[in-house]
Structure formats: structure tokens, C-alpha cells
Amino acid sequence: MIESFERAAEIIMASELTVALTGAGISVESGIPDFRSAAGLWSRFDPGEYATIEAFRANPQKVWEMLREMDEVVSRARPNQAHRGMSELEDMGYLQTIITQNVDNLHQTAGSKDVIEYHGNASTLSCLWCGRKYLTADKRKEHLPRCECEKILKPDIVFFGEMIPEEAMNRSFELASSTSALLVIGTSAVVSPVNAIPSLAKRNGANIIEFNKEETHLTDSITDVFLKGNAGDTVPELVKIVKQKKGMDA
């Protein structure tokens, strides 16, 4: 296993542009279960009934039954060692951009500066009718958070049936086409359209470094280095080896 970490460190340190793609697995250790896991939201709330934009427009009161539970979990979460390790890599100049499928704001809280939010961010709310925007924290005491225009607010996350933000989509694919190293962390990358990012990066010559608890469809197809384990263990280990190679205190 140490050889894999050594190789990953060498790839990152030689890379002119390194990008990370993160998913639910990186935030599990912060107390946020994967929505699709046994403890996730989809085990109690049918996404067809609670997570589509059509459902929200038709019955926002019902959808907020799920959103309140999600907000309780996300608001308690704090960055873990994986988030902090990625921020350190950025500070050292070995990670330029993070593309995240998560909506929990934990990368930014950990100090990462260039984060592309593929599915939005739960820390703000918007009015679909008048466009006003609010901080979620400022509305948390309201059972149904409402705008000044009295309409029920929607979290700034991408519901099923909504488009991925255009800027996030465009930047992600531009970076995938030009990066020389892609870190895939805590995601099996099976959901469209984000699932195209690893293969696009590979086709354009990038080395793929995968951090996952178990092997995925990527592992035997395009992954160059597979670092098996919890991201909270594997990312800090990689950071330690990079520091050692750089001659810094680990």
C-alpha cells in the first residue's frame, strides 16, 4: 500500500494541473450519510416524491419535511481530515480545483478556495418567484422558511429535474480536458453527467488516483492508483508523504 501512496504523491508533485472530484463518501466521516445508503434520506423519503423540482413547486410544505431533516444533519457536520488534507494540498500548490457533488459546504469551511459545486449548496435559500436570496442559518428557526414575498424558499441545491449550473458544468469539463491528474475521492461516479468527468480526463492523458473504501467500476478500467480506505485516513496519508518528499514536517 505504501508504494501506491508514493506513486500517487509523485504523480501529484509532477502534475501541472491537479483537479479533485469528490462525492458523498468524503463527508460520511463528518456525519452525513450517503443519501442512497441504508441510513440515508432515500431510505425514508422517496426521491420521486420529495426531491424533484416538480414536487417542490407542487407541494413545498411536503418537501420541507425532508429538507428539515437534511438541514439538521448538514448544519451539525464539520470538515474531517480528508477535507482539511485537500485544503493543505491546495495551499502547497498541488491541488488547483475541487469539483464536488456535495452540497454541504465542508470543502470551503476547511479552507479550500476554488470549489465547483456541481449540485449547489445548502447554506443558502432562494425564492423561485422573486429571486431574493437568504442564508439558511438566518431562516433555521422558521418551520417553513418564507421570503419577504411570503413564498416558501427553496435551498440552492439542484433537485432532480433541474439543470446543473451552466458555469459548473462548463468549468468541470474544461478542467477534465486539461488536467494532468484527477483525484476521485468518495464517489463511484455513476450519476450522469458527472460520471463523464473521469473518463474525459483519462482520454486526455490524465492520471487517475482513486480514493474509495471499495473498488468501483473505475478501479479496473481507468484508475492508475487505487488508495483503498476511508478518505479521512487515505487523504492525510497522501498529504504526509507529499510533505516528506517536499522536505516539510509531516
Handedness of CA 134, 65, 79, 37 (dihedral sign): negative
The one-digit pLDDT tens for each residue of the chain (250 residues) are: 789 999 999 999 999 999 999 999 999 999 998 777 666 787 888 989 999 999 999 999 999 999 999 999 999 999 999 999 999 999 999 999 999 999 999 999 999 999 999 999 999 999 999 999 999 999 999 999 999 999 999 999 999 999 999 999 999 999 999 999 999 999 998 888 899 999 999 999 999 999 999 999 999 999 999 999 999 999 999 999 999 998 865 5
Integer-rounded Cα Rg, in Å, for the chain is 19
Select which of 83, 107, 119, 217 is catalytic: 119
Asked whether 52 and 161 are in contact (CB, 8 A), the reply is yes
pTM of the predicted protein model: 0.93
Q: Where are the domains of the chain?
A: 1-32+80-119+163-250, 33-76+124-157
| Active-site residue flag, 107 | no
What pLDDT sits at residue 212?
97
Long-range contacts formed by 172-176: CB under 8 A, 24+ apart: 172/99, 172/116, 172/118, 172/197, 173/197, 173/200, 175/17, 175/19, 175/97, 175/99, 175/116, 176/19, 176/200, 176/201, 176/204, 176/206
**Assigned CATH topology for domain 33-76+124-157:** SIR2/SIRT2 'Small Domain' (3.30.1600)
1-32+80-119+163-250 adopts what CATH topology?
A: Rossmann fold (3.40.50)
